[in-house]
Chain A
């Protein structure tokens, strides 16, 4: 299919690690992204990874990329209540016309952090 797929909901306890998973479709995608959306706000870029990498770490965030399986994950260490939000995975894909790149988003994973 052409969809970027994510599980819709994840609940974790404060202080634990969160792992949000995503599968994408285009093996030629050069960049993959994680965006965060808090209530009433727009999407905000958290991090992105280039396809020639298999891991990227940025403070509490770790992105893992498995190109063979077209699987992307976002790990949030020491999850806090402020991390509660919707997390969107996205792949950069060439348009059918080939004239430009565009981002294809998943439906988002709602992360709930409880005490």
Chain B
């Protein structure tokens, strides 16, 4: 009954090779977030969509892009992954002004 689904669970890519992480939701929530979480660090917000409106955090590198083709799906594109981009990437959703974020299980990205 997973409501926020992230695929794949583990992703290995090569240095500089573009990679896409995906997130889908069955909740029909209008807000979708991407967080980056490095080991023993706080999850860090990269960007989010409020419906189709994209909000990028000021310190998110240009190397990170996102697409939301419809309500259910959101993608994180890393154009040229570096070793420092190895992390857990978490997708989350929220509906309107509700306070509860629903998180997926994350995608653990390794960069070789």
> A residues bordering B, Cβ < 8 Å?
3-4, 8, 31, 33, 35, 40-45, 48, 88, 92, 95-96, 99-100, 102-108
Contact = CB atoms under 8 A, between A and B. Distances in A.
Contact of B103 (A4, A31, A42): A42
Interface in B48-74: 48, 50, 55, 57-58
Contacts of A107: 40-42
A95 B92 CA distance: 18
Contact of A43 (B40, B48, B58, B90): B90
A95 B45 CA distance: 11
Contact of B43 (A33, A43, A48, A99): A43
B101 interface: yes
Nearest to A30: B99
A106 B42 contact: yes
Contact of A100 (B55, B100, B103): B55
B42 A100 contact: no
What 10 A-B pairs have minimum CB-CB distances, sorted nearest first?
A42-B103, A105-B42, A43-B103, A107-B42, A105-B43, A42-B105, A45-B100, A42-B104, A107-B41, A102-B45
Residue in B41, B43, B45, B101 whose Cβ sees the most chain A Cβ within 10 Å = B43
A48 B104 contact: no
10 contacts: A31-B99, A42-B4, A42-B102, A43-B43, A43-B90, A45-B100, A45-B101, A48-B99, A102-B48, A107-B42
Contacts of B99: 31, 33, 45, 48, 92
The dominant DSSP class at the B interface is: loop
Interface string B96-112: 00011111111000000
A44 B57 CA distance: 23
Contact of B58 (A4, A35, A96): A96
